[in-house]
Structure 1
Amino acid sequence: MIPASAQERFGVLLDQVDAAYQEMQLLSSDGVGNRFRVEMAERLETQERLNRGLMYRVFGEVADPPDESGMLPELPVRLSMRLRIPPREVKRRMKLAGNICGRRQLSGPPLSPLLPAVADAVRSGRIGDDHVTAITKVLKKLPSATSADDRTDVETSLVREAERSDADIVTVVGQRIDDLFNPDGHLDEADRAQQRGVRLGPQRSDGLSRISGVVDPETRCYIEACAAAVRPGRYLPDGSVAELPDLRSVAQRCHDGIKLGLKLGIASGEMGSHRGHPVTVIVRTTLADLNQAAHAVNDPNVSMPSPARTGGDTALPMRDVIRMASDAIHYLAVFDGHTERPLYLGRQTRIATTDQRMICYARDGGCTRPNCTAPGYHCEVHHDDEWGKGGRTDADALFFGCGPDHKLLTLGRMSATVRSGRLAWTDGLSPPRINRVHHPDELLRGDPDPPNIESR
Structure 2
Amino acid sequence: MSDSLVDDYAELHAVLDRIVERTSDACPELEVAELAITHEHAVRRMGSIGLQRILDVSDREAYRSVQCAKLDEFVGQRLRIPNPRRRLRQVTQLTEMHAMTGEKLPAKCPETADAMADGALGHEHVDAVLDVMAKVPSATPPEMWDLAEEQLAEIARHHSPREITRAGARILAHLDPDGDLPDERDRARNRSLSLGAQDTLSMSKLMGTLDPTTRALFEVLLAAWAKPGMNNPDDDQSPKGGADDEGIDQAQLRDAASRDCRTQAQRNHDAFHALLQAAADGGLYGAAHRGLPPHVIVSITESQLRERAGIGHTTTGTDLPMGEIVKLAAQAQMYLTVFDDHTGEPLYFGRAKRLASEAQRFVTFAEYGGCSKPGCPRPFSHTEAHHAEQDWAHGGKTDITDLAPACGPHNRAVHDGPGGWRTEKILDGPDRGKYGWVANGTTDPPRTNHLHRPDRILDDTAPPDPEWSEIEHALELILADRRRRADIRWGPDHAA
TM-score, structure 1 length as denominator? 0.84
Q: Residue 97 in 1 paired to residue 91 in 2?
A: yes
What's the CA shift for 1:333?
4.4
Partner of 1:281: 296
Partner of 2:225: 229
What's the CA shift for 1:139?
0.8
SS class of match (1:334) = coil
CA distance 1:81–1:70, change in 2 (3 Å): closer
The separation in 1 between residues aligned to 2:114 and 2:326, in whole angstroms, is 59
Q: Comparing both chains, which one has the higher relative contact order based on Cα–Cα distances under 8 Å and sequence gaps of 6 or more?
A: 2
What's the CA shift for 1:155?
0.6
- Structure with bigger strand share is 1
SS class of match (2:377) = coil
Contact 2:77 2:375 in 1 (8 A): yes
Partner of 1:438: 452
Letter paired with 1:403: G
CA distance 1:307–1:185, change in 2 (3 Å): farther
- Superposed counterparts of 1:57-456, under 5 Å: 57-65=52-60, 74=69, 76=71, 77=73, 80-85=76-81, 88-89=83-84, 91-105=85-99, 107=101, 109-183=103-177, 185=179, 187-227=182-222, 228-238=224-234, 239-241=236-238, 243-244=255-256, 245-272=259-286, 273-290=288-305, 292=306, 304-327=308-331, 332-335=334-337, 339=339, 353-384=357-388, 385-409=390-414, 413-419=420-426, 420-428=432-440, 429=442, 430-446=444-460
The separation in 2 between residues aligned to 1:310 and 1:183, in whole angstroms, is 48
Cα RMSD (Å): 3.0
Partner of 2:244: none
Contact 1:335 1:344 in 2 (8 A): no
Letter paired with 1:277: L
Contact 1:335 1:341 in 2 (8 A): no
Deviations along 1:249-283, one digit per CA (max 9) or x if unpaired, are: 00000000000000001110122131133321111
The separation in 1 between residues aligned to 2:424 and 2:66, in whole angstroms, is 26
CA distance 1:67–1:409, change in 2 (3 Å): closer
Contact 2:337 2:363 in 1 (8 A): no
Contact 1:281 1:310 in 2 (8 A): yes
CA distance 1:179–1:334, change in 2 (3 Å): farther
Contact 1:367 1:401 in 2 (8 A): yes
Contact 1:285 1:334 in 2 (8 A): no
The separation in 2 between residues aligned to 1:437 and 1:211, in whole angstroms, is 23
SS class of match (1:159) = helix
What's the CA shift for 1:30?
2.0
Contact 1:285 1:333 in 2 (8 A): no
Contact 1:100 1:113 in 2 (8 A): yes
Identity %: 29
Q: Residue 21 in 1 paired to residue 16 in 2?
A: yes
CA distance 1:149–1:279, change in 2 (3 Å): same
Deviations along 1:38-61, one digit per CA (max 9) or x if unpaired, are: 211111111111111111111111
The separation in 2 between residues aligned to 1:325 and 1:163, in whole angstroms, is 56
Deviations along 1:193-216, one digit per CA (max 9) or x if unpaired, are: 221112211111212112211122
What's the CA shift for 1:410?
5.6
CA distance 1:48–1:416, change in 2 (3 Å): same
The separation in 2 between residues aligned to 1:310 and 1:66, in whole angstroms, is 34
CA distance 1:27–1:410, change in 2 (3 Å): closer
Runs of 5+ unmatched residues, structure 1: 1-5, 293-302, 346-350, 449-456
Runs of 5+ unmatched residues, structure 2: 239-251, 346-354, 427-431, 463-496
The separation in 2 between residues aligned to 1:226 and 1:390, in whole angstroms, is 52
The separation in 1 between residues aligned to 2:400 and 2:37, in whole angstroms, is 59
SS class of match (1:445) = helix
Deviations along 1:159-188, one digit per CA (max 9) or x if unpaired, are: 111122222221111011112234455632
TM-score, structure 2 length as denominator? 0.77
The separation in 2 between residues aligned to 1:79 and 1:108, in whole angstroms, is 24
The separation in 2 between residues aligned to 1:173 and 1:281, in whole angstroms, is 45
Deviations along 1:26-80, one digit per CA (max 9) or x if unpaired, are: 2221231321122111111111111111111111111013999999963644565
The separation in 2 between residues aligned to 1:208 and 1:289, in whole angstroms, is 21
